[in-house]
Structure 1
Amino acid sequence: MSKELREHIEAITRLTDDEFEYIISHFTVKKLKKHRFLVQADEPVTNDFWVRKGLLIAYYSNDQGKEHIMQFAMEDWWITDYQAYFNQSKATLNVVCLEDTEVLCLSLHNREKICRELHKIEHFFRRKSNAGYIALQKRILTFLDSSAKERYEQFLMQYPSLLQRIPKTLIASYLGVSRETLSRLSS
């Protein structure tokens, strides 16, 4: 079903053909058009999503309606509302497609099942989780200790391919600056 997913997993741990076939049998495919919700606040979250094609954004809307961007996800990245996914509760985040998107969906039940049965996949998810924690810590520290210009430069270095795919207003929001400030930083 997805040669790309196999390559993604095998960047961390090698798989036999039988192991990969077994793993992929636990995923389902979902295709969504641009602007559609993959996860919606106050709805149950039953899946983690691996992005095969497309671009998504995860954001939180506070009580005043202000949106706070948590994450972008493009091809070969994972995205969901992890608090809701692991607690099997309702989402606090929205995940929306910025482009037409195809994802592979993995329920928590199936994730736990294949992790129990295959140490290799448990190792894979542990490594991915660790990388996610590190990225989140870096993002928080950047907000605490970096200027707007430094945050913009880090974004450019870390995600150069996203610059052409994401509207400037969303990049500004992700960096915690106004659209006008972003224009000054990028000129």
Structure 2
Amino acid sequence: MERLRQHIEHITSLTNEEFEYIQTHFTKKRVLKNQYLLHEGDDVKNEFVVLSGLYKVFFLDEQGREYIIQFAKENWWMSDYQAFFQEKKATVFIECIEAGEVLVSTLETREKLSAELHKMEHFYRVKLTNGYVALQERIKLLLSSTPQERYEAFVKLYPDLLQGLPKKLIAEYLGVSRETLSRLYSR
């Protein structure tokens, strides 16, 4: 739980008493490789903070093609946020690519901590804002950049994933074919 404290304190400081209270609202879960935390159609009750491992958030189109919305690594948050906040069914999947651990919390927890601790309300607002900015940047890249520019942005955002991640997943994230990705790699 010390990593959670460091993660929160990157944005706002906490007393020991505040953190002791906050940590009681999160549960730790081990996640195995290829295990799903969320399936399309599930009720979305949880959001997850990545402690370790690597995860992908993705959806399938009507032909079964996979589109990766995000990879999530240490200190990243993930869920189907549209479904989470609006209490709807999931439209995405979350799958573990590399085994690890996550912290699990609920919308009720988020609302309770925000109401009781202004520091947590501030923390959640900053995290949500940063996530929105990152998503907007990803959409801009997908809509208006070349495959080369998307690849360069990926390298900048996920430098540690280039060697260990299957090329198929990187290509899906970038919205390019494996052949195009191979050409980008060779440059």
Q: Which residue of 2 aligns with 1:78?
A: 77
Q: Which residue of 1 aligns with 2:147?
A: 148
* Number of residue pairs matched by the alignment: 186
1:42 is matched by which residue type in structure 2?
A: G
1:10 is matched by which residue type in structure 2?
A: E
Give per-residue Cα distances to partners, 1:48-77, cap 9 Å, x unaligned: 100011100000111111111101001111
Give per-residue Cα distances to partners, 1:96-152, cap 9 Å, x unaligned: 000112100011111100110000001001001110111011111111211001110
Which residues of structure 2 form unaligned runs of 5+? none
Matching of residue 19 in structure 1 with residue 33 in structure 2:
no
Scaled by the length of structure 1, what TM-score is found? 0.97
2:38 is matched by which residue type in structure 1?
A: V
Q: 1:33-72 residue pairs with structure 2 within 5 A?
A: 33-72=32-71
* DSSP 3-state at the match of 1:164: coil
Most deviating of 137-146 and 156-165: 156-165
| In 1, Cα distance between equivalents of 2:58 and 2:161 | 17
* DSSP 3-state at the match of 1:83: helix
% identical aligned pairs: 53
2:134 is matched by which residue type in structure 1?
A: A
Q: Which runs of 4+ in 1 moved over 3 A?
A: none
Q: Which residue of 2 aligns with 1:175?
A: 174
Q: Which residue of 1 aligns with 2:2?
A: 3
| In 2, Cα distance between equivalents of 1:96 and 1:147 | 28
1:21 is matched by which residue type in structure 2?
A: E
TM superposition shift of 1:47: 0.6
| In 2, Cα distance between equivalents of 1:183 and 1:4 | 37
Scaled by the length of structure 2, what TM-score is found? 0.97
Which residues of structure 1 form unaligned runs of 5+? none
| In 2, Cα distance between equivalents of 1:20 and 1:150 | 41
| In 2, Cα distance between equivalents of 1:90 and 1:172 | 28
| In 2, Cα distance between equivalents of 1:91 and 1:164 | 31
1:43 is matched by which residue type in structure 2?
A: D
